[in-house]
Amino acid sequence: MTDLAARLPKAELHIHIEGSLEPEMMLRLAQRNGIALKFASVDEIRAAYAFTKLDDFLAVYYQGMSVLRTAEDFEDLAWAYLASAAADGVVHAEIFFDPQGHLPRGVSFDTVMQGLTAATARAERELGITSHLIMCFLRHLDEADAERTLDLALPYRDRVIGVGLDSSELGHPPAKFRNVFRRARDAGFRLVCHAGEEGPPDYVWEALDVLGVDRIDHGNRALEDASLVRRLAADGMALTVCPLSNLRLCVVDDMKVHPIRRMLEAGLVATVNSDDPSYFGGYVADNFRALEAAIGLAEGETRALVRNSFRAAFLPAETKARHL
């Protein structure tokens, strides 16, 4: 096997850094920081990774991130992800982080930023991989909490390229965050939003028309609405699709019915990403390999998906052009 998926230079646009926390590192950081975890071993942690829906995963994800306390922890976490990504052929990563998962535990915005930016700078120097940070608001919290988080990010505008919206989707439509997204746009941030993972096509419409996003994260359920598909295609709106995540969170019942080919055939700018690689069974090349094994993703399709990753990246036009 040529392993084209790992060899082609690519961008990864949908990766939650807290979702790259491998069980081994979770135990190590728990010990380093004197934090009691309810898991005693790697096997016990992995045994908890049986999900039937997004909220099952989120409960474990928020527990897992409780071991992250110091700038060094965030640096170790991001460095490990960037090293794995580089080994998978990733040359540019746009990395989500969830400050509202850390602030209530007494971890400052500055601590998170110090750790993440130390790792991204080192990865650029030593691995030749560039990265951007995208701060996500937790949508199960209210808009006032997101507004306070945006205020904390404003002094870091040069190190955070965009804002996004993640966490529990159903019952938390994008329009709940219309004011904070407007203010983020006015401050110069790019905008992305998880929509249509579990939520209905209406949430994708809202992300487009109320928030005015630059990309949709997931977007699977957009396929239920033909006029929405035509709109996404006409706008060249990218979808950051996460196949292994979709399987593990039961967004698809079987990888054999994953809609990635339908998305490409409909003219959508679909990309392949890992979402939370530690929790969902693999990094970005594993996601390509899973599609190859299940639906026989062809070389031309792999190349189109990889080209899309650069089309959709928040990179200068000249840099993108080198990869297209």
Nearer to Zn ion, 69 or 139 (CB): 139
Residues at the binding site are 14, 16, 194, 275-276
Q: Least Å distance between CB 175 and Zn ion?
A: 20
Q: Extract the runs of DSSP E, i.e. beta strands, from 156-247.
A: 162-166, 190-195, 215-218, 238-241
Q: Quick check: 287 binds ligand ADE (CB under 6 A)? A: no
Rounded CA gap, 241 and 250, in Å? 14
Cβ distance to ligand ADE smaller for residue 22 or 276:
276
DSSP string, 123-154: HHHHH--EEEEEEEEETTS-HHHHHHHHHHHG
16 binding ligand ADE? (CB under 6 A): yes
Q: Is 12 in the site for ligand ADE (CB under 6 A)?
A: no
The answer to whether residue 149 forms part of the interface with ligand ADE (CB under 6 A) is no
Residues 6+ apart with CB under 8 A from 204: 195, 196, 216, 219, 221, 222, 225, 228, 232
Residues 58-77, one symbol each (x = binds ligand ADE by CB under 6 A, - = not), give ---x----------------
Asked about 18 being catalytic, the answer comes back as no
Residues binding ligand ADE: number (CB under 6 A): 11
Catalytic residue among 94, 197, 206, 301: 197
**Residue 189 touches which of Zn ion, ligand ADE, none (Cβ within 5-8 Å per kind):** none
Q: How far apart are CA 279 and CA 63, in angstroms?
A: 12
Rounded least distance, CB 16 to Zn ion, Å: 5
Annotated binding site for Zn(2+): 14, 16, 194, 275
Strand segments (E) across 150-226: 162-166, 190-195, 215-218
Distance CA 180, CA 145 (A): 10
Question: Position 142: which residue type?
Answer: D
Number of amino acids touching Zn ion (CB under 5 A):
1
Comparing CA positions, the residue from 301, 292, 294 lying closest to residue 2 is 292
Instruction: Tell whether residue 194 is a contact of ligand ADE (CB under 6 A).
Output: yes
Q: How far apart are CA 239 and CA 269, in angstroms?
A: 6
3-state secondary structure of 57: helix
Which conformational region is residue 89 in: left (phi greater than 0), alpha (psi within -120 to 50 degrees), or beta?
left
83: left (phi over 0), alpha (psi -120 to 50) or beta: alpha
Task: Report what 137 binds from Zn ion, ligand ADE, none; CB cut-off 5-8 Å by kind.
Answer: none
The footprint of ligand ADE on residues 236-275 (CB under 6 A) is: 245, 275
Say what the alpha-carbon torsion angle 167, 141, 212, 9 is, to the nearest 10 degrees: -30
Residue nearest ligand ADE, CB atom distance: 166
From 66-74, 86-94, 221-229, 273-281, span contacting Zn ion (CB under 5 A): 273-281
Question: Can you tell me which residue has the tokens 């006015």?
Answer: 186
Nearer to ligand ADE, 170 or 264 (CB): 170
Q: Quote the distance between the C-alpha of residue 76 and its chain's center.
A: 18
- For residues 198 and 275, which CB has a smaller minimum distance to Zn ion in the complex? 275
Task: Pick what 195 binds: ligand ADE, Zn ion, none; C-beta below 5 to 8 Å, kind-dependent.
Answer: none
Q: Least distance (Å) from ligand ADE to the CB of residue 196?
A: 11
| Residue with smaller CB distance to Zn ion, 71 or 271 | 271
CB atoms inside a 10 Å sphere around CB 317: 7
Q: Determine, following the binding rule CB under 5 A, whether residue 275 of this chain makes contact with Zn ion.
A: yes
Nearest-approach distance from CB 284 to ligand ADE, in angstroms: 15
Which spans of this chain sit near Zn ion (rule: CB under 5 A)?
Answer: 275
Residues involved in catalysis: 197
Which spans of this chain sit near ligand ADE (rule: CB under 6 A)?
Answer: 16, 19, 54, 61, 166-167, 194, 197, 245, 275-276
